[in-house]
Amino acid sequence: MRGPRRDPDMVRAYVRTRGHSSPSRDGLTLTTLVRAADRPLHGLDVEALRVMRICRGPLSIAEIASLLDLPPTVALIVVSGLLDTGHLDSPAPAGQPDISVLEEVLNGLRALAVR
């Protein structure tokens, strides 16, 4: 069975609109974490449904893109729309990292290195 691979025409359609409709949320990045909110799914298009199905737990947009075989820019657009409609939640505001993130990363890596 071929399986639900990405539809090249759909991808082209998204790519075509890319210049005109960049993700509507500023600060959305490939490492932004999202998960499904409890909302009815009717009315969503095929790509949005695939994203919703995979977002049962927290994942980054990069993971969604890779697991669904979507180009990352397409995944950003689809996720952005689903955040706008409340179908997806992002656990933390997609802010820029600050010095406290460096400290958290450092502490975490040091803990791994001494195991």
Partner 1 sequence: MDSVLSPSDEHLYLPATVTRSAKILIAGHFGAGKTTLVGSVSEIKPLRTEELITEASTGIDDLAGLPGKTETTVAFDFGRRTLSPQLALYLFGTPGQNRFTPFWEHLFHGALGALILVDTRRLQDSDPVLGLFEERGLPFGVAVNEFEGAPRYARDEIRQALALDDDVVLTSCDARNEVSSIHALIAFIEYLHRSRRLEHLS
Q: For binding to partner 1 (CB under 8 A), which residues are involved?
A: 1-5, 11-12, 15-16, 19, 29-33, 53-54, 56-60, 62-63, 65-73, 76, 91-92, 96-99, 101-113
**Are β-strands 59-60 and 88-89 bridged in parallel, bridged antiparallel, or unpaired?**
unpaired
- In the three-class reduction of DSSP (H, G, I as helix; E, B as strand; rest coil), residue 26 is classed as coil
- Catalogue the E-assigned strands of the chain: 33-36, 59-60, 88-89
The residue (of 40 and 96) whose beta carbon lies closer to partner 1 is: 96
Minimum gap (Å) between residue 32 Cβ and partner 1: 7
Shortest distance, position 45 Cβ to partner 1, whole Å: 17
Distance CA 23, CA 27 (A): 9
What minimum distance in Å lies between the beta carbon of 18 and partner 1?
10
